[in-house]
Homo-oligomer: A and B are copies of this chain.
Amino acid sequence: MANKKCIVLLSGGLDSATALYYANNLGYECFCLIFDYAQRHKKEIRSAVRVAKRVECGYKVIKLDLTHKGSALLDKKLKLPEHHNADMEKAIPSTYVPARNTVFLSIALCYAEIFKAQAIFIGANVVDYSGYPDCRPEFFDAFKKVAVLGTKSGATGKKIRIIAPLIDLNKAEIIKLGWKLKVPYGLTWSCYKGGNTPCGECDSCFYRRKGFKEAGLIDPLMVKN
């Protein structure tokens, strides 16, 4: 148990918090990477830090000096999508951030080698499909090959696993799983906006509300607010 280490990509949202508790529950010593990449608001970073502290695991907030244009998540001039258009689910939303998961996984891979971790956990899932290309299983399969071929660990037979434990779960299933694992969902933040209370209108709020409703549970974040 003591030597089983992993890197967890932690965003402050409920999926990655669930992935962290899942890894922790498997007996991994977790180290969380939290990215500060000029998001619209810092609230999700603060949420991620709170979740990592609750688990009492190591974490690092990594500043990524990237000039992002063309993503509504980063560019305050672009309008955030509201969840109304059913067709939108098939398209790639404007909240897409160029190559985000590739960048995050790459840096996680670097840290995994530094810490001699055996695995990287990421909370991505596709059932309530967000439309992000870098949340698809085929993307993760491709990245797994990069992790083997592009590292000293991989080249010397000590493969670093990329684990997306929630990949096949819908939001309600993720919440039910996390509930059992005692994920402090009241500390997480899903809303694309950074106000005092979730906006309730954005895609992310829509899926969170739908998930809790289908799971038959009450979102502690909504009780708190």
Taking Cβ atoms with an 8 Å cutoff, the residues of A that contact B are: 60, 62-70, 92, 96-103, 105-107, 109-114, 133-134, 136, 138-139, 142-143, 145-152, 154-156
- What are 6 A-B contacts with C-beta separation under 8 Å? A63-B63, A92-B156, A96-B152, A102-B150, A102-B151, A103-B109
Q: How many copies does the complex hold?
A: 2
Tell whether A99 pairs with B113 under 8 Å between CB atoms, given A134-B150, A146-B139, A151-B134: yes
Q: Give Cα A152–Cα B125 distance, bound, in whole angstroms.
A: 17
With CB as the reference atom, state the residue of chain B lying closest to A138: B149
- Chain B CB within 10 A, most for which of A65, A96, A110, A138: A110
For the complex, what is the distance from the CA of A64 to the CA of B63, rounded to whole Å? Answer: 7
Known pairs A133-B150, A145-B145, A146-B146; A109 contacts B114 (CB<8 A): no
A70 CB to nearest chain B CB (Å): 6
Residues of B within 8 A of A149 (CB): 133-134, 136, 138-139, 142
- Residues from chain B with a CB closer than 8 A to the CB of A139 are 146, 149-150
